[in-house]
Amino acid sequence: MNGDLMENWAGTIAFAAGLEYRQEKSSDKPDPLLQARDPDGVGSGLVGRTAGATRELNSYLLPTVGDYNVSEVYGEAIIPLVSDATWIDALDFEVAARYSDYSSGFDTSTYKTALNWAATKEFRTRATYSFAVRAPNINELYSPSQLGFSFVTDPCDAVNRGPSDSNVATNCRALGLPDNFSSDAQTSTRLVEFSGNQELNPEEAETFTFGFVITPSANVNISIDYWDMEITDAITNFDPSDILLNCVSGSSLDADYCNRINRDANGQITRIQTSSINASKFSATGTDLELQAYWPVYNGELGVSVTGTYLDEREFQQNTADPDDVISLAGLVGTPRFRSLITTSYTELNFGVHWTVNYISESTYTSALRTIDQAEWPAGFDNKVEAYAYHNLNFSYTFDETYNVYFGIDNVADKAPPLLPGLNAGGLMYDGFGRQYYLGLQAKF
Residue (of 21, 5, 22) closest to 13 by Cα position? 5
For residue 1, the tally of other CB atoms under 10 A from its CB is 8
Q: What sign does the CA torsion over 191, 195, 197, 201 have? A: positive
- 300-334 pLDDT tens trace: 999 999 999 999 999 998 777 777 778 899 999 88
N residues, the chain: 445
Contact yes or no for 330/337 (Cβ under 8 A): yes
Residue 271, CA distances (Å) to 190, 258, 261, 281 in order: 6, 12, 6, 27
Indicate the helix (H) or strand (E) that contains 92.
Answer: strand 88-102
User: Positive or negative, the Cα torsion across 38, 41, 47, 51?
Assistant: negative
Q: What is the residue-level pLDDT of the chain in tens, covering all 445 positions? A: 898 989 999 999 999 999 999 998 988 888 888 888 888 777 787 777 677 777 777 777 788 888 999 999 999 999 999 999 999 999 999 999 999 999 988 999 999 999 999 999 999 999 999 999 999 998 889 888 777 788 899 999 998 988 888 899 999 999 999 999 999 987 888 888 888 888 899 999 999 999 999 999 999 999 999 999 999 999 988 889 989 998 998 888 988 889 999 999 999 999 999 988 888 899 999 999 999 999 999 889 999 999 999 999 999 987 777 777 788 999 998 899 999 999 999 999 899 999 999 999 999 887 765 556 666 666 777 888 999 999 999 999 998 888 999 999 999 999 999 888 888 888 778 999 999 999 999 998 8
Supply the pLDDT for residue 408.
Answer: 97
- Rounded-to-integer distance, Cα 148 and Cα 43, Å: 10
**pLDDT tens digits for 89-110?**
999 999 999 999 999 889 999 9
Helix (H) or strand (E) holding 359: strand 351-360
The domain limits of the chain are 2-216+232-280
CA dihedral 27, 28, 33, 39 (to 10 degrees): -60
Is the C-alpha dihedral spanning 36, 39, 43, 45 positive or negative?
Answer: negative
